Chains A and B, each alone.
Chain A
Amino acid sequence: MRVLKITAMAALLVMAASVAFAGPTYDRVMSTKVIKAGLSNQGIPFGFINDKNEWVGFDVDMATEIAKRLGCKLEKVVVNNNTRISFVQTNPPKVDMVLSNMTHKRVRDEKIDFSITYFFDGQKFLAKKGAVKDAKDLANLKVGSMQGTTSIVNATAYLKELGNANPQVTGYDGEVAMFEALRSGRVQAITTDSTILLGYAAKVPGQFELVGDFISDEPYGIGLPQDDSAWRDTINFTIQDIWKDGTYLKIYDKWFGANSQYPFPLTSKIEMWP
């Protein structure tokens, strides 16, 4: 009898909890005034830990700015390449938005929603200076990339296109392991979005260079829970506001401007709605 009672109590508790947590993201954020943002903490310069053990980066600044404009407190949650989508996909979502250098792709958009593009990047290769003269040289190199990203899929397809039927692409666990593989020489080139590559190449100045052309377009969007248009609108409007009054450029220059550690000229404009 007691077992039954306890089971029934547990079941009731679980159901009560599920009721308490339900509700669209917009309403919840506006009532609790806390935004939970999924951010990477090992991707220089988008989200990483600096020498004061502070969590900084372009994505972190963007998230902070968004939260500030919505009058909310920001709660940072660590995501990685494997979890960044599933965290907004769950119901209720584990985080309210994900800024983790995430490319807006149609397949991904079937599972979660995306904001307008807030950063423009493309995939490239990074290799030792002078090791790769021509893009064709890449075909037979050992290449490293990151597990759980589309970079690894793109790279395999690209090497196949260049004429290598059986390309050697290893998927490492995160940016650090990937760059370490290149630095120690276990792969001859690594590939992912060019800004990330720049961030790591700046660690050992003058040794590595970007090679070849962009092999894909990587427009970054903020990952948002599916089917919550009030929330998506809020985020989109906020991004446009950030762009309109010049704050975006300030943040951009801080991380990618000519005087920054990882110079990367701004090529496009954020989509503005009149």
Chain B
Amino acid sequence: MFKRYFEKIWVQNLALLALTGLVVYYFAFIFEFKYDFDWAVFVVEGQYGHMGHLMLNGINTTLTITLYSAAIALAMGTIFGLARLSSFKPVYWFATCYVELFRNTPLLIQLFFWNFALPYAFPEEIRFKLFDMNFEFWCATVGCGIFTGAFMAEIIRAGIQSIPKGLLEAAYSSGLTFPQTLRKVILPLAFREIIPPLGSEFLNNMKNTSLAMTIGVSELCWSMTEVYSLTYRTFEAFSVATLVYLALSLSIAGILYIVNERLKIMPRDRITPLRRVADILFWPLDFLGRKLEYVFWYFRKSPDQRTVSPFKQFLNRLGKDLTKALKFLFVAAIAYILYMVVMALFHFNWEIIGANFKTLLIWRFPEGDETEFCFGLGGLASSLLMAAISIAGSFLIGLAVGMGRTSKNRVFRIPCLLYIELIRGVPLILVILWFYQAILEFVFKVDVQAFWAATIAMTFFFGAYIAETVRGGIENIPAGQVEAAKASGLTYLQTMRKIILPQALKQMLPALVGMFIAAFKDTSLAYIIGVMELTRAAYAINNRIMIYPFEIYTTVAVLYFVFSYFMSLYAKRLERKLSPETIRIEM
């Protein structure tokens, strides 16, 4: 009886409304905030200047970095994605090194490395020239670009490789030349595969620009911190920054949605209104494409040209020699870089690394104060611990929310959707700050150590991501199984527990390991609230020694890399083992 009513849309809407009302009522009347909001700080000129202008400047810088770094990332991604498909081995190795190296170390460490260590690799005159050109800004922009580029390269490679060989054979046998096949078959198909994941990389890149604050670029997060440390208006500053990031994420997601709609294949008689809008928006591009087609038509090679003129032959020969020379040059350049790296390693102050290695691994455990986290546990050990705890916690959140997200009932679906989209639209650094300085303090009135605050924040953050993975896993299960379960009289929870989740979870395992790597790398962000994890430990050591930033940041990068890389190898193996096509059934 109750259940039947609950299936009606208006009951669900009413329940949602009542829930919202309860939350509003609770926070407006019962809950004691003990905090006076004063939104005027952004419009009134205070003793330390106009905070509104500060925020606007920050937004401007964030947008600039986002746009530039996205362009750099796309360029890097295309070049290295293609290089990963190259049959010339040195190019392939180089591209693979780039992708693995940059994907498996945290962006924060990369930025520190570029900012603190790299300048010392140059002679003084070049260094000063670099510093004259707004160094921190370009450091952050190029750093973000290179980092995101490594992810894009993989997406582009996978997209191109996903084209079935048969299609290419068909294209060639029907007489298309390679450029034609590229234009007509490979690129359109590859793009359809590539664009959605590429879009989410653009979104990540936008959120990652928030890390630029740690090297002194006055972007949005920087402005936010400046506002709250000058006016002590924590909630106001955080809220404005969060809203701006959400708005940016939503606009990027909106653009992607329209692009996706444009790329979908739909029959002419079933065109959605959104598709029409997308068509109108893409009209200039389509127009350009059609005109280009015309140009290509006139420049095409005539098929009956069998003889080659001496000039043409010379050109061909020149082209071949040039490629050979370029290949040789490339190998020489790689050899030179390798030589430089070996020499740099040789000149490293290994004593410094050796003396501080234990500190980097476990910080001062077990000699720390009893008031410290776990007797002074820190460094790599606490990074791993933080990642493990937060992934375990977010798995539970993700399971519940992911199930709620797939539910037909709005009362469950809409709150879950809000949670997922809200968290995924905000940079992790902001989530950590929210939890450490606002939510735990004011809303839950609990006071925990920075380590736990960061772990809780990460749990909530990754919960949203895992929820999306869970949703994907659940939706992958054929609908027939659900129907069969229902027909045999199982309830929703029973169906989930006995049929759907066991299969979905098995499929999700590699993704979960991937999430663990991401969490491990992102523990570096806890640095911002003073958790003594690996990055902060490196920072503290560098603070003390000052003159060996190169050695310290390289060691830290290697530590992060080793763990992430081997985990990702494990994830790959797991994927192969779990995919049903390759598994060998043994009797």
**A260 interfacial by beta-carbon distance below 8 Å:** no
Residue numbers in B under 8 Å from A150 (CB-CB): 48, 230
Q: Which of A83-91, A124-132, A242-250 lies at the interface with chain B?
A: A83-91
Beta-carbon contacts of B103-123 to A below 8 Å, as 1s and 0s? Answer: 000000000000010011000
A173 x B447 contact (CB < 8 A): no
A183 x B546 contact (CB < 8 A): yes
**A254 interfacial by beta-carbon distance below 8 Å:** no
Of chain A, the residue at the smallest CB distance from B369 is: A76
Residue numbers in B under 8 Å from A108 (CB-CB): 232
Residue numbers in A under 8 Å from B21 (CB-CB): none
Q: Which of B167-175, B260-268, B537-545 lies at the interface with chain A?
A: B537-545
- Docked Cα-Cα span, A186 to B213, in Å, equals 17
**A48 interfacial by beta-carbon distance below 8 Å:** yes
Interface residues on B, range: 35 or more
- Docked Cα-Cα span, A86 to B369, in Å, equals 25
**A185 interfacial by beta-carbon distance below 8 Å:** yes
Residue numbers in B under 8 Å from A44 (CB-CB): 543
Q: Give chain A nearest CB distance to B411 CB in angstroms.
A: 8
- A-B CB contacts (within 8 Å), total count: 135
- Docked Cα-Cα span, A61 to B461, in Å, equals 38
Q: Give chain B nearest CB distance to A215 CB in angstroms.
A: 16
A42 x B539 contact (CB < 8 A): yes
- Docked Cα-Cα span, A152 to B31, in Å, equals 38
B32 x A147 contact (CB < 8 A): no
- Docked Cα-Cα span, A3 to B369, in Å, equals 42
**A216 interfacial by beta-carbon distance below 8 Å:** no
Q: Give chain B nearest CB distance to A218 CB in angstroms.
A: 16
Q: Give chain A nearest CB distance to B16 CB in angstroms.
A: 12
Residue numbers in A under 8 Å from B366 (CB-CB): none
Q: Give chain B nearest CB distance to A170 CB in angstroms.
A: 5
Residue numbers in B under 8 Å from A80 (CB-CB): 530
Which B521-580 residues sit within 8 Å CB-CB of chain A? 529-530, 539-540, 542-544, 546-547, 549
Q: Give the residue among A7, A41, A184 with the most B Cβ atoms within 10 A.
A: A184
**A32 interfacial by beta-carbon distance below 8 Å:** no
Q: Give chain B nearest CB distance to A191 CB in angstroms.
A: 14
Given contacts A18-B445, A171-B226, contact A76 B540 (CB under 8 A): no
A176 x B543 contact (CB < 8 A): yes
Beta-carbon contacts of A16-31 to B below 8 Å, as 1s and 0s? Answer: 0110010000000000
A107 x B543 contact (CB < 8 A): no
Residue numbers in A under 8 Å from B34 (CB-CB): 91
**B218 interfacial by beta-carbon distance below 8 Å:** yes
- Docked Cα-Cα span, A30 to B445, in Å, equals 21
Which A154-195 residues sit within 8 Å CB-CB of chain B? 170-173, 175-177, 179-181, 183-186
Q: What is the number of residues of chain A that contact chain B, defined by CB distance less than 8 Å?
A: 60
**A266 interfacial by beta-carbon distance below 8 Å:** no
Q: Which of B128-136, B334-342, B476-484, B510-518 lies at the interface with chain A?
A: B128-136
Interface of A is mostly: mixed
Q: Which of A49-57, A115-123, A133-141, A232-240 lies at the interface with chain B?
A: A49-57
**B147 interfacial by beta-carbon distance below 8 Å:** no
A17 x B446 contact (CB < 8 A): yes
A75 x B371 contact (CB < 8 A): yes
Residue numbers in B under 8 Å from A77 (CB-CB): 450
**B148 interfacial by beta-carbon distance below 8 Å:** no
**A148 interfacial by beta-carbon distance below 8 Å:** yes
Show the binding face of B for A, using Cβ within 8 Å.
Answer: 22, 26, 30-32, 34-35, 47-49, 116, 119-120, 124, 127-128, 131, 135-136, 213-216, 218, 222, 225-226, 228-230, 232, 234, 359, 363-364, 367, 369, 371-372, 376, 437, 441-447, 450, 529-530, 539-540, 542-544, 546-547, 549
15 residue pairs from A and B, CB less than 8 Å apart: A14-B444, A15-B30, A17-B444, A17-B446, A41-B530, A42-B539, A53-B540, A86-B228, A148-B225, A150-B48, A176-B546, A179-B546, A185-B127, A186-B131, A186-B135
Show the binding face of A for B, using Cβ within 8 Å.
Answer: 7, 11, 14-15, 17-18, 21, 41-42, 44, 48-51, 53-54, 73-83, 85-86, 89-92, 94, 107-108, 111, 144, 147-150, 153, 170-173, 175-177, 179-181, 183-186, 200, 203-204
Q: Considering the complex of A and B, which 8 residue pairs feature the smallest CB-CB distances, nearest first? A: A78-B530, A148-B229, A186-B131, A75-B371, A53-B364, A82-B229, A91-B34, A172-B216
